[in-house]
Amino acid sequence: MAKQSKKQDKKVTKNAKKVRGTCRACGRVVELPNHKGRCECGQGLIARGGRVVRIKETPHGCLEMDAAKTISEPPAKAPEKAKKPVKAKRERKDGKMSGLDAAAQVLTEAGESLDAKTMVERMLASGLWETKGKTPAATIYAAMIREIAKKGDASRFRKAERGKFTVAK
Ligand SMILES: [Zn+2]
């Protein structure tokens, strides 16, 4: 029974020293045979002073390196932050209306055309709407103009006499 020749398997030479350390490339803890080896991440690694460092420019001989034994997988990446909830629909939990909804309601209740300033005063006084804006009347005015321009006859608002609005009938 011819044993396989004793051609030394360099992986198992008696004097092989194994060095355990952390792969600088991927963070796996690896054990290097003969102070050098190749991590699962593909990096050629070499131990220096007991630390496993990465061979920055993988030398040609790298692929011939013995496989380093993986002791532990790389640390898990930091968990992704919880995804932001899909942008909430425009319904508001506090029961407040959007500026345009409130404007439409105020105009409906008024039964006459109003300018933006008066509408905003009523919207705020009635608690239908809250804003931190400094120029809420300008904001509402612009929003109504936009809705009219965009939706035309489908808009809830109509322009009335100068600077005033009314609701679509
Ligand atoms: Zn690695």
Mean pLDDT of the chain: 80
Distance 72 CA to ligand 1 centre (A): 10
Distance 165 CA to ligand 1 centre (A): 69
Instruction: Find the distance separating the first CA and the last CA of the chain, reported in whole Å.
Output: 104
* CB-CB contact of 63 with 39 (8 Å): no
Residue-range domain boundaries for the chain? 17-72, 99-167
Across the chain, which distance is largest between two alpha carbons, in Å?
Answer: 111
Distance 56 CA to ligand 1 centre (A): 12
Distance 26 CA to ligand 1 centre (A): 4
Tell me, what's the pLDDT at 114?
Answer: 95
Tell me, what's the pLDDT at 121?
Answer: 94
pLDDT 10s digits, 85-100: 665 555 555 666 789 9
Distance 10 CA to ligand 1 centre (A): 22
Distance 71 CA to ligand 1 centre (A): 11
pLDDT at 3 over 80: no
Question: What's the chain's Rg over C-alpha atoms?
Answer: 37
Both tokens assigned to 104: 């439409």
pTM, rounded to two decimals: 0.45
Pick the residue with more confidence: 66 or 105? 105
Pick the residue with more confidence: 21 or 84? 21
The model's confidence at residue 13, banded by pLDDT at 50, 70 and 90, is very low
Half-sphere exposure of 151 (CA within 13 A, CB side): 14
Distance 131 CA to ligand 1 centre (A): 55
Distance 9 CA to ligand 1 centre (A): 24
Residues in the chain: 169
Distance CA 156, CA 111 (A): 14
pLDDT 10s digits, 97-133: 789 999 999 999 999 999 999 999 999 999 989 988 8
Neighbours of ion ligand 1 (CB under 5 A): 23, 25-26, 28, 39, 41, 43
Q: 72 forms bridges with which residues in the sheet?
A: 29
